[in-house]
Structure 1
Amino acid sequence: MRSFCGRVDPAAGASDLAEDSEEYDHHQEIARSCYADMLHDHDRNEKYRQGIFGAVARVKARGQKVIVLDIGTGTGLLSMMAVSAGADLCYAVEVFRPTAEAARCIVEKNGFSDKIKIINKHSTEVTVGPDGDMQMKANVLVTELFDTELIGEGALPSYEHAHLNLVQAGCEAVPHRARVYAQLVESELLWSWTQLQPVEVEGARLVPPPAVVGCAGAHSVCDVQLSQVPPDSFTPLSPVCTMFSVDFSKAVSSAPQCHSSQFVARSSGGAQVVLSWWDLDMDPSGAVVCSMAPSWTYAKPETAPWRDHWMQSVYFLPAERKVKEGEVLSLSVCHDDYSLWYSLQTDSPTDTKMDVLPSRPCCSCRAHLVWNRPRFGEINDRRRTESYVRALRSVLRDDGVCLSVSDGSLLPVYAHMLGAKKVFSLENSRMSKQVVEQVLESNAMKGSVELLEIRADQLTSEHLGGEMISVLLGEPYFSTSLLPWHSLSFWYSRTALAGLLRADATVLPRSATLQLLAVEFQDLWRIRAPCGTCEGFDVTPMDEMVQRSLDFRESREAEPHPLWEYPCRALSHPTEVMTFDFTQCVPEQPISSQGLLPVLRTGRCHGVVLWMEYHLTDDITVSGGLVGPISDQGDCEWSRHRKQGVYFFTSPWDTSGDERAAVSYSFTFDPCEGDVKMAFSMESRDPTP
């Protein structure tokens, strides 16, 4: 079977799929997965341990041999727990071949290979019988098939098949049951992630297209660290409702279903958003519970366990609805075998199984396909828009010809509203072009901006009506960008357009700087931390080969993360390490930068954060990273609209005992690849004279 991996070409502003070679290191994919986070999740591991030990003990008390089926074994940790609890035999099923091979090595390394059989198949392909994968049906079913949405990894079909074919009637199941919770809220912040808001541009009002306002939005779940969404940013309109539960010890159906919960509205407001999470009972009595509830639901928020492999979900109602305090309402959730969606009614339908569900939200306006949720938030950010409008006002000329290079941007619309004579915009796709056209038509501006579905290197003077460009502008934003510096594809477009720029042309932004900050993460470090002996359980869950991937490969490049969801402390001042001058063409030779970043606060330096700041004019800057001053304690406020680059050190550096500690850095921007290479080390800087 052929496999493919994603590849970004920053210089071309494009992404594609590249076929893996036979030598492709899939163990790096294992290292990049959330196994480290799961293995460091002591709360999860301990709850599973208690549930498994209890299930094995109950089967033994009935005088039966304990046969365990572990579906989605991953590293084999839960299977090893089962054997340690006294299970006679464990069938550990893992569909991903490299992970199955790693599990086989780990099981052998820990001395469990005589009682654990690794089966490299999807569980629905597993057979039972003398010549089958399993010699007999299991009487203990252990699974970890859950995602942020609970059922998104195909848990229901897998359970349904297992109960029909792989496990005995009345088997013990760990976890025993799951419950899904939801709360209806009003939130300007969260609603801005799915609905385009009106924009004021120097007294003129730009309104969203009716098709966007009336669109149900994207159907995919919005997974988020809900603990980092401040409670004062939303108004609860309902109590926390239990929407439905699933008993995993009995036959499970993957048939489409709807469930509802009736409640009395706690306050008046606009019903817009549903916050949702779930928990697991690891035993039949419900005494051992593994909860995904956000920290602000806890009496002591600091006691809430942190995890990144399971987060919380945000669902957007198809349309805002006004509700009154005291009104009796019914919140409904529907699900197929992989996803959930919510709706709000005034009556209370009974829970049902059906072949055809009420319609799932689906984007009909195309905007939710062009703009992801952070992008909606970015476009709706009034302060950010004001910065661009002020910058545009300062550079536009009455006879100006503007060209915008960004994906699905409203900057060319603002330029027209501010009086530019002619405005052109390059769009990377027909769909993004259609979305901007909707905005123009809805505001009686059809034809005021000429949208060109071509690349910068394809643009000719004829496309511009023989005119020369006086203002080249961009946010820059490109849907293909993963890391902050990937948006430097704007610079490559500027270079391709050099022959069409007037001698006195203005480029906005004028330049960009790459910023660097040394940090101590509160929790994010766990996703790349070494996984030797699993916390709370005496086995080694990572084999040597996979561990090397985690320790060495992962520390050689930066990763994109939305740091507003992952608190950290700054251990240094933010420092400008590279400058990219957009008034000039991309240089032919690499740009290099080296230096020392003094560490000013004590702590454990887990790595560095990198982001881009775009200098629109001499005095107007827009940041894709820090958006506020660092507090005296080092607390940081990060942009919610862009992901920052995070470079994790192989192991954290303790800075508590060295007043001269510094991070040595080296950066090289390769113009041929459009990418930034980097290296770091911890050093002791010379004492101040």
Structure 2
Amino acid sequence: MQAEVKAIVEQSLKKAREHDSRRNAGQAYAYYTAVVELSPENRSKVEKEFTDVLCEWGLQLEQNNRIRDVIKCYEHSLEHYPKNPRMLNNFAAHLLRNAEPIKAIQYLKRALEADPSFLPAERNLQNAFSMAVDRWHFPMLNDRHRNHAFDKAIRKKIALGYDSVLDIGTGTGLLSLYARDAGAAEIYACESSPVMSEIAGKVFAKNNADEIKLIPKMSTDLKIPEDIPHRVQLVITETFDAGLFGEFVVPTLIDAHKRLLSDSGVVIPSNATLYVAAIECEYIRFRSSVKFQKPNHFGPLNFENISVLPDEPYYDTENLQNVKICHITEPRGILDVNFNDSTEILSFSVDGLKNRITTECRYDGTIDGLVAWFKLHLDEEITIDSSQGKSCWQLAVFPSIPRYCQKGDKISISAEMSAGKLKCSYSSNKLVNKVEECVFHLPKEVITFLNDREYISSLTQAASIANEEIESVLDTSPFPIFGLALMKSNPNCRVLYYQSEDLMLCSFIEKVFDDNEIKGEIRFLNDFCEIDAVVDRIFVHNFDINGELTDWGQESYHDFFSCFLSPRGSLLPGKIHLMGQLVFSEDLPKMISVKNSNVQRFCSSVSTSDSEKTSDEENSYESTPTFSDKSPSYKLAEFINEYKINQVFDLNSSLYQHEAISEVKTLMEMDETQIKEHLITFGKFDKSKKLPNALIVWYKIQFSENNVCETRRNDSFMNHMAVVLPDEIKKSIQRDGEVKIKILQFYLNFTI
């Protein structure tokens, strides 16, 4: 019997390797499975082969929308290799791509337990935390003024007898805790997110809030008397995004008025006013549109009468606190909504124009678009202004093609609802182009790429020095500036390969190609494997707009693209260095973790006489909260901080307060073939001054010795990242210790 099993195992292993060599991953996986099941003693010998095939087969299954089969294969394989970090990580990656972050977190933690230095699992764990708990929860909970304002408004209403409360979208449960300690008789808190509902349950238990009934449902699914015994007198909700309506507060409150709120009940906030202004802002211009007015940095190429706008039909959100922004028009209120008037709320549930105002330009300038913000009136006296100071809300930005205007020009600004979201636009008979333009709506990464003059200049410079023997080029950037510039300046270059499935982008490239009278042809690819000949020059743009290098998974991108290179061919860029600088920042730590001190109640109690006060000290959002030993001490941070991350991606550090504490250091040269450790010494710091609490990290891209471009710039095509340092760094400095940063590199992944 043993001989028969041995023969089957040997034959299965042979078949597995044959199918693997032919790229038949499914058949190879089946035969490898037979080997590991029938021959436990051979599992360690074939573990790498088995894992390679499983990962390849899993990708093929996912591409064919067979995610259930992916799950079955990985779960079965992990029975044999329960501590294989790569297997655990890749399974988690499938789960993340299919929006199952909680399940993915379990496998990623197992992967890091098996191998703490397996960096792909650590990076995916950060992604999983971000997917499980939206990052806006952290700055929101750290916004003491917001918390203070809601606390005051809740106390005032409950003091007036509105003491049965429904907290819609409770999140961590903070507003429900405020209601409890304000004396509410009944409190119901609903939350549809399973993760946030679990966090709220832990928060209530830790704060001895058993009287708060937590219901893990959307408010629109609540039923009386199954979930709550009767209609409530007070509905509290803070479900607002930068565009006010984006978190579906309108249908939520329509339903609440209809089924959940008593006829004499009230809503906090009571109403809101939306403000809008036309702006001139270079930062917005470079990220929201491309108008090719000064094309010198495009080398030999010209883009006459072409403009580019984002393909996102709604708005972007930006923190513009530290950005130069000029209001071309006076800020004006354009919408008012009374959350206590069900008829008025209902009008905002219907798509279409809601208001139009006419205003005039205050000076000569360029209109780059509109910005909108709101004042949230919690009651008759307490207001939160989302445009002020350190508000957790950013501004809603509605970009447009930059238009010149003159002082006194009148423009019409419209606000409408579209698919439940706000949409603002402007028009004017005077603000038209003298020459008719061709407008293309393209992804944001194309816009930021085309607006990065320094990077584009580096690319066109690299293209201009290409020798005459080049006949073909492959360009993998968001827009093939390098390839087009090379073809126009080098008549021997006849073919440009470019991968894209975006039809609008392909049309844009073809127009530039035709307008510049470039000889040769563009071959658009769905897959790089469609390349049918060797290529003389390949530009590999493996940068993600959020500040990372593209993860190629199992495959080396150098090895992959080298397969297409001619003997005399070469890859660009030549080198990529990781750069870093230590900084002190009050803003960055608030983006990744919550402090309990920021969620505590305002110390004074509210009596009837208190609620009648109208002084700035008592009712202004801007008043500074003060606390006393009599205030309850809420314990909340530890539960949401289970999902904190230490690396902030998609960061433009110029938008946030920070102060350089060290010189700029080269941290390492990126090498996708290496797994190694780097140790960088930043030296000692004066402990009597500000100490570093974060490391800003970006890339230096080198095309040649004298052609170098760094990505930490206001007009960079990509953002960068920051690593928030642990408190132990500060303690080390206070002990007169040196600051040393250890970087673990796993191919193109790294952790600090």
TM-score interval, normalised by the smaller of the two chains: 0.7 to 0.9
Residue 475 of structure 2 is matched in structure 1 by 404
Residue of 315, 335, 339 corresponding to 2:421? 339
The correspondence of residues 412-451 of structure 1 with structure 2, limited to 5 A, is: 412-419=483-490, 421-422=492-493, 423-431=495-503, 434-445=506-517, 448-451=520-523
Q: Which has the larger radius of gyration?
A: 2
Query: Cα deviations across residues 624-672 of structure 1 (Å, max 9, x unaligned)?
Result: 22x4xxxxxxxxxx554312122223437337646553133132223xx
The whole-number CA distance in structure 2 between the counterparts of 1:558 and 1:238 is 35
Provide the identity percentage. 17
Pair 1:663 & 2:740 matched:
yes
Q: Which amino acid aligns with 1:523?
A: D
1:388 aligns with 2:459: yes
Q: Specify the alignment match of 1:576 in structure 2.
A: 666
Aligned residues of 1:77 and 1:541 also touching (Cα < 8 A): no
Q: Distance in 2 between matches of 1:431 and 1:49?
A: 51
Q: Which has the higher contact order (CA 8 A, sep 6+)?
A: 1
Question: Structure 1 residue 505: deviation in Å?
Answer: 3.0
Aligned equivalents of 2:733, 2:223: Cα separation in 1: 57
Q: CA RMSD in A?
A: 3.4
Report whether the alignment pairs 1:111 with 2:194: no
Pair 1:564-2:635 in alignment: no
1:416–1:449 contact (8 Å) kept in structure 2: no
**Maintained 8 Å contact 1:185/1:275:** yes
Match of 2:151 among 49, 55, 63: 49
- Higher helix residue share: 2
Contact 2:583 2:662 in 1 (8 A): yes
Tell me how far apart the structure 1 counterparts of residues 255 and 270 of structure 2 sit (CA, whole Å): 17
Per-residue CA distance 1:563-588 (angstroms, 9 max, x = gap):
2322322222222222136xxxx53x
Q: Do 1:268 and 1:325's aligned partners in 2 also have CA atoms closer than 8 Å?
A: yes
Q: Residue deviations 1:483-536, cap 9 Å, x none? A: 423277999443223244344434321111111222222312112234335444
Match of 2:558 in 1: 494
Q: Report the CA distance between 1:138 and its aligned residue.
A: 1.2
Structure 1 residues 276 and 433, CA gap change in structure 2 (3 angstroms) = closer
With normalisation by structure 2, the TM-score equals 0.72
Task: Choose which of 617, 641, 644 in structure 1 pairs with 2:717.
Answer: 641
Instruction: Give the counterpart letter for 2:525 in structure 1.
Output: E
How far did residue 29 of structure 1 move?
A: 4.9
Segments of 5+ residues of structure 1 without an aligned counterpart are: 295-303, 348-363, 628-637, 680-689
Structure 2 vs 1, CA of residues 396 and 193 (structure 1 numbering), >3 Å: closer, same or farther? farther
Partners of 2:685 and 2:691 within 8 A in 1: no
2:579 alignment counterpart: 515
Quick one: which of 537, 555, 561 aligns to 1:471? 537
Amino acid at match of 1:206: N
Once residues 104 and 483 of structure 1 are traced to their aligned partners in structure 2, the CA distance between those partners, rounded to angstroms, is 35
SS of corresponding position for 2:486: helix
Does 2:348 correspond to 1:266? no
- Gap change, CA 1:491 and 1:337, over 3 Å in 2: closer
**What is residue 330 of structure 2 aligned with on the other side?**
239
Determine the C-alpha separation between the residues in 1 that align with 2:383 and 2:297: 52
The aligned counterpart of 2:141 is: 39
Residue 8 of structure 1: how far off its partner (Å): 11
Q: Distance in 2 between matches of 1:323 and 1:548?
A: 51
Runs of 5+ consecutive residues of structure 2 not aligned to the other structure: 1-66, 72-87, 107-127, 430-437, 602-631
Per-residue deviation, residues 249-286 of structure 1 (Å, max 9, x unmatched): 221212234212222331244444101111111212xx
| Correspondence for 2:750 | 677
> Scaled by the length of structure 1, what TM-score is found?
0.78
Assess if the C-alpha contact under 8 Å between 1:560 and 1:646 holds in 2. no
Q: Report the Cα distance in structure 2 between the residues aligned to 1:376 and 1:220, rounded to whole angstroms.
A: 16
The residue aligned with 2:390 is 305
1:295-323 per-position Cα deviation (integer Å, ceiling 9, x unaligned): xxxxxxxxx2242xx11111024x55554
> Is 1:616 paired with 2:693?
no
One-letter amino acid matched to 1:35: H
**Counterpart residue number, 1:121:** 217
Of the candidates 177, 181, 193, which is equivalent to residue 84 of structure 1? 181
Q: Which amino acid aligns with 2:358?
A: Q
Once residues 136 and 291 of structure 1 are traced to their aligned partners in structure 2, the CA distance between those partners, rounded to angstroms, is 34
Task: Give the 3 Å change call, closer, same or farther, for CA 454–441 of structure 1 in structure 2.
Answer: same
Task: Give the superposition deviation at 1:54.
Answer: 1.2
SS at match of 2:663: coil
Q: Which amino acid aligns with 2:290?
A: L
Structure number having the greater strand percentage: 1
- Report if aligned partners of 1:515, 1:611 keep a CA contact under 8 Å in 2: yes
Assess if the C-alpha contact under 8 Å between 2:335 and 2:354 holds in 1: no
Aligned residue for 2:337, secondary structure, equals strand
How far off is 1:108 after superposition? 2.4
**Letter of the 2:720 counterpart:** Q
Contact between 1:192 and 1:377, CA under 8 Å: does it hold in 2? Answer: yes
User: Partner amino acid for 2:692?
Assistant: C
Q: Secondary structure of the equivalent of 2:465? A: helix
Shift of 1:94: 0.7
Q: Contact 1:54 / 1:283 at 8 angstroms: preserved in 2?
A: no
Distance 1:577 1:159, change over 3 A: same
SS at match of 1:608: strand
Cα separation, 1, equivalents of 2:412 and 2:728: 50
Moved over 6 A (4+): 2-5, 487-491
Partner of 1:104, secondary structure, is helix
Query: What residue is the counterpart of 1:71 in the other structure?
Result: 168
Letter in 1 for 2:262: Q
The answer to whether the 8 Å contact 2:685/2:733 transfers is no
Aligned partners of 1:176 and 1:248 also within 8 Å? yes
Per-residue CA deviations over 1:159-196 (Å, capped at 9, x if unaligned) read 11111111122423221211111111244542343333
* 1:449-468 matched pairs, under 5 angstroms: 449-456=521-528, 458=529, 460=531, 463-464=532-533, 468=534
